[in-house]
Structure 1
Amino acid sequence: MIDLQLQNTLQEALHNQLGNAFGIDRMEIVAGGDINTALRLSGPQGSVFAKLRPAQDMAMFEAEAEGLRALSHCDAICVPKVLACTQAGNMASLLLEWLDIQPIRSESEACRAGEALAALHGCKGEHFGWMHDNFIGSTPQCNTESDNWAQFFVRRRLQPQFALAAQNGFGATFKPYAEAIFEKSPAFFIEYHPTPSLLHGDLWSGNLGALPDGTPVLFDPACYYGDRETDVAMSELFGGLPVAFYAAYRKAQPLSAGHELRKPLYNLYHILNHLNLFGRSYLGQAERMASSLARALKC
């Protein structure tokens, strides 16, 4: 995969974007997510981060670039600058500014990150959804706009994931719960009416870090406008974030009554997506969440 043709194509894309003769002296594979090949491109001018996928997946990188540009309008956070989306033979690539990102470790970093997320959620939209469909991981994510959040979340989030689970052979597992959850989950929103906030959309500890000076960094987004609680809920999955992060967020933007009841509904979307992407190792967790939701809704 890392060959001379690829190196030349990436170098040409960088030259066209940066307006200088960026010379790639070295390409090395680095950590960059579960679904992409990630490279560090190094040369005399510094480094660039590159993601690679098959050429037919270019739309995924275009959607990610759009999300990063949207997040960049929030001054409280840092995101990698998009340099280029390009195609090299049978490979699609997304070229980003190289940032020295480290996990959030200190309490002060956690506080800054919580405050930054609250600031991001202060960016409001007119409708729930997004101007284009995009992806959650490599799963298509429908973003047709709506003024009804409960309806949006059922139709654009839960229903497609349950349908995909059925296609993947898990339909019988969720048959006792799915239709009832679709029908009755709007009960969570009788007295709760969220406004459309700009969301990262795929917010877990692996997509949030800090620069050496403590500046919060967000990356790998799946942006849309929705209930801000969805970002907060997902951040508690897969190990969660430091307590100071949540304390700082709540101080800046207190959560509404009932958020603990809504959290499993929101996180079911992501666990179903992991089931559909990575297989039955997530089946038990997804079934428990669906069953618990059904009981909470008295289905």
Structure 2
Amino acid sequence: MGTTVGIFSTSSFFPIPPRLRRVPVRRPFAVAAMGEDPIREWILTEGNATKITRISPVGGGCINSASCYDTDAGSFFVKTNRRIGPSMFEAEALGLGAMFDTQTIRVPRPFKVGSLPTGGSFIIMEFIEFGASRGNQPVLGRKLAEMHKAGKSEKGFGFDVENTIGSTPQINDWSSDWVQFYGERRLGYQLKLALDQYGDRTIYEKGQRLVKNMAPLFENLVIEPCLLHGDLWSGNISSDKNGEPVILDPACYYGHNEAEFGMSWCAGFASAFYDAYFQVIPKQQGYEKRRELYLLYHYLNHYNLFGSGYRSSAMSIIDDYLRMLNA
């Protein structure tokens, strides 16, 4: 069920966790004041509700807790984290807001981010009643491509704040050069994490050779910065009760549209999805040669998050590219 409340603005800033840095930006959502129960307070004032009829726990992933607040003004989806300050949810809200503003694919609309009086933070957003499937594949492909076409940035590649991919910081400093951005802020960052966490000098050194030699994979391409969900796997794809595709839990930034398929190994995209997508945004020259390069970022992230089970997949991709590029 949707809600009828709106987004309003603030220019407040929050303390941020170590390793996450911020670029100042005006925010399209509000920050809750400290109170006895800022979630309830917002719902019963700015949320236009006069009473909360039920609070039910719902699935919110392995990092956060989540609840549905049923009210006489509709239902709200609330995520809380008792350990992390509001910057993580603030980045999520900015991503959701950017995707929502394209008016293409359906996403939960963010309403409020704030601090909890006992520590931690929360985000209030539109509650969407999910259907039984992950949506019609051709419709999902078409709407995702429409979002990529509509969501453009004049600043280049990056995002206004740093966010996370899983629980890994995602560096979003702006760049006018996609190859440099992807090499340094995506692959390079993950390779350094692998070196720091595991002392894995082999994958670090081979990966850096790939980064330094991957430019030919992008020759004769004009790459426009487009808004990416950034973490599009099956757990972040659903549908509403009418079967319309819904995407959620983003790690947004502006990048090469092909990078959106980096989680395809666990997204379950059908051929009908790709057919519909490429009807809106035609496949670019050399797409097949770059496809594994975009998978690599997410395999490296899974290696850093979950351990050695993902190392062989990442290493195989790196070795294949080094042979292809004679590097």
Q: What's the TM-score once normalised by structure 1's chain length? A: 0.89
Equivalent residue for 2:129?
100
Write the deviation string for residues 126-184 of structure 1: whole angstroms up to 9, x where unpaired: 21112222222221111111111101111111111111111111523404412211210
SS in 1 for 2:69: strand
Question: Is the Cα contact below 8 Å between 1:86 and 1:92 reproduced in 2?
Answer: yes
Q: Which of 131, 135, 138 does residue 111 from structure 1 map onto?
A: 138
Q: What is the alpha-carbon distance in structure 2 between the residues aligned to residue 112 and residue 87 of structure 1?
A: 37
Equivalent residue for 2:187?
158
Question: Is the Cα contact below 8 Å between 2:191 and 2:204 reproduced in 1?
Answer: no
Equivalent residue for 2:75?
47
Residue type at the aligned position of 2:126: E
Distance verdict in 2 for CA 1:252–1:279, change over 3 Å: same
Q: Which of 177, 184, 205 does residue 148 from structure 1 map onto?
A: 177
Question: Is the counterpart of residue 277 in structure 1 residue 305 in structure 2?
Answer: yes
Aligned Cα root-mean-square deviation (Å): 2.1
Write the deviation string for residues 51-100 of structure 1: whole angstroms up to 9, x where unpaired: 22234342110000000100011222111111211222122111111101
Q: What is the alpha-carbon distance in structure 2 between the residues aligned to residue 239 and residue 70 of structure 1?
A: 22
Q: Which of 72, 79, 96 does residue 107 from structure 2 map onto?
A: 79
The structure where helix makes up a greater share of residues is 1
Runs of 4+ in 1 over 6 A off after TM superposition: none
Question: Is the Cα contact below 8 Å between 2:50 and 2:72 reproduced in 1?
Answer: no
SS in 2 for 1:255: coil
Equivalent residue for 1:3?
none
SS in 2 for 1:18: coil
Q: What is the alpha-carbon distance in structure 2 between the residues aligned to residue 295 and residue 9 of structure 1?
A: 56
SS in 1 for 2:227: strand
Equivalent residue for 1:121?
148
Equivalent residue for 2:9?
none
Alignment of 1:159-174 (within 5 A): 159-174=188-203
Distance verdict in 2 for CA 1:37–1:293, change over 3 Å: farther
Residue type at the aligned position of 1:118: A
Q: What is the alpha-carbon distance in structure 1 between the residues aligned to residue 84 and residue 263 of structure 2?
A: 30
Distance verdict in 2 for CA 1:7–1:193, change over 3 Å: same
SS in 2 for 1:275: helix
Distance verdict in 2 for CA 1:203–1:298, change over 3 Å: same
Question: Is the Cα contact below 8 Å between 1:86 and 1:93 reproduced in 2?
Answer: yes
Question: Is the Cα contact below 8 Å between 2:131 and 2:242 reproduced in 1?
Answer: no
Structure 2 stretches lacking a partner, 5+ long: 1-34
Equivalent residue for 1:23?
52
Alignment of 1:160-199 (within 5 A): 160-199=189-228
